[in-house]
Structure 1
C-alpha cells in the first residue's frame, strides 16, 4: 500500500490544483481518475526502477543544478554581448557504457535541461550518444564531462 498510494495522491493533488477547486465533485472525480490511472500505470512501465545510493543521487542533483546555473550564465552573457560569431556549434559522438533505460532517460534530461546542449540521438547498436553543443571548443572535455560527471553516477544509481 505504501508503494501504491503516492501516485494516486499526487494525481489527485495535481487534479485539484489544475481545477483550482476543492469541491466535492472535483474530489470525487479527481480521486476516481487518480485511482484508475494508478491501476493502469504499471502496465505501461514493464521495467521497474530502483533507486540505490541516494547520497550519490543527491550529489548528482547538486552537480546538475550547479552546471545548469553556470551554463545559463554563460549562454546569457554570450547572447547579451552579441558574441555569436565566436561560438563553435557542433555535434559530438560519445560512447556510453550505461544500458539502463531509466539512467539513459535521466541523462537525456540532464543534457537537455542544460542550456547550450541538446541530446540529438542515441544509436542503440553502438550505444553512442550524439550530442549537439552550442560552443564545442574542446571535444575531450565534453566527453569526460558526460562520461565522468553524469554517466558514472547514474550507472551507480540505476545499475
Structure 2
C-alpha cells in the first residue's frame, strides 16, 4: 500500500520542500498543498519510471554533495580571479571530451549537471551512445588534467552511489 501511495518517497519530500521554498511561507495550507503535490505528482509520473535507480550508499551521496558544494565555492573564486586579473588573450578556453564509465541515465544526468553547476565549466553535449560528454572549460592549460579531475572527483563517486 505504501508503495502505491508513495512510489517515490524522496521525490515526494523534495516536491514538498520545493513548494514551501517557492511560496516562502510555512502555513498549514501550504504544507497541505505541498504534501498533495508530493503524493499526486509521483503517482502520475510513476509509469515513466519503470526502473528506478537504486542508491547503494547514502553516505556517499552526502559526500558527493559536500564535494560538489566545495568545488562550486572554489571555482567561483577561480573564475572571479580569471575575470579580474587575466587579460583576454591569456585565457585559454578548451573543449574537453570526458569518456564515461557510468552507464545509468541518472548518473550521467547528475554528472552533466554537476559539471554545468561548477563555474568555469559547461557540459555541452552527450555522445549519441552515452559513452562521453563534451565539456567546455573557461580557462584550461591541461585538458587531460580537467578530464581526470572530473572522472576522479565526480564520476568515481557516482559509480559508487549507483553501482
Instruction: Tell me if TM exceeds 0.5.
Output: yes
Contact kept? 1:68, 1:113, Cα under 8 Å: yes
Contact kept? 1:89, 1:133, Cα under 8 Å: yes
CA distance in 2, matches of 1:58, 1:29: 29
With over 3 angstroms needed to count, the CA separation of the structure-2 counterparts of 1:47 and 1:73, relative to structure 1, is same
Whether 2:64 is the aligned partner of 1:60: answer yes
Equivalent residues in 2 for 1:135-150, closer than 5 Å: 135-150=139-154
Give the TM-score normalised by the residue count of structure 1. 0.81
With over 3 angstroms needed to count, the CA separation of the structure-2 counterparts of 1:155 and 1:83, relative to structure 1, is same
Higher mean alpha-carbon deviation, 113-122 vs 92-101, is at 92-101
Task: Provide the secondary structure at the position in 2 that maps to 1:52.
Answer: coil
Give the TM-score normalised by the residue count of structure 2. 0.80
Quote the residue 1:134 is aligned against: 138
Larger Rg: 1
- Partner deviation per Cα, 1:140-159 (whole Å, 9 max, x = no partner): 10111111221111111102
Quote the residue 1:114 is aligned against: 118
Contact kept? 2:94, 2:143, Cα under 8 Å: no
CA distance in 2, matches of 1:55, 1:32: 29
Aligned partner of 1:43 among 47, 68, 78: 47
With over 3 angstroms needed to count, the CA separation of the structure-2 counterparts of 1:28 and 1:76, relative to structure 1, is closer
CA distance in 2, matches of 1:81, 1:158: 40
- Partner deviation per Cα, 1:98-121 (whole Å, 9 max, x = no partner): 101111111011101100000011
Whether 2:83 is the aligned partner of 1:75: answer no
Quote the residue 1:156 is aligned against: 160
With over 3 angstroms needed to count, the CA separation of the structure-2 counterparts of 1:33 and 1:128, relative to structure 1, is closer
Higher mean alpha-carbon deviation, 123-132 vs 12-21, is at 12-21
**Runs (5+) with no aligned partner, structure 2:** none
Whether 2:78 is the aligned partner of 1:85: answer no
With over 3 angstroms needed to count, the CA separation of the structure-2 counterparts of 1:95 and 1:12, relative to structure 1, is closer
1:126 deviates by 6.2
Name segments (4+ residues, structure 1) moved above 3 Å: 5-24, 26-35
1:46 deviates by 2.6
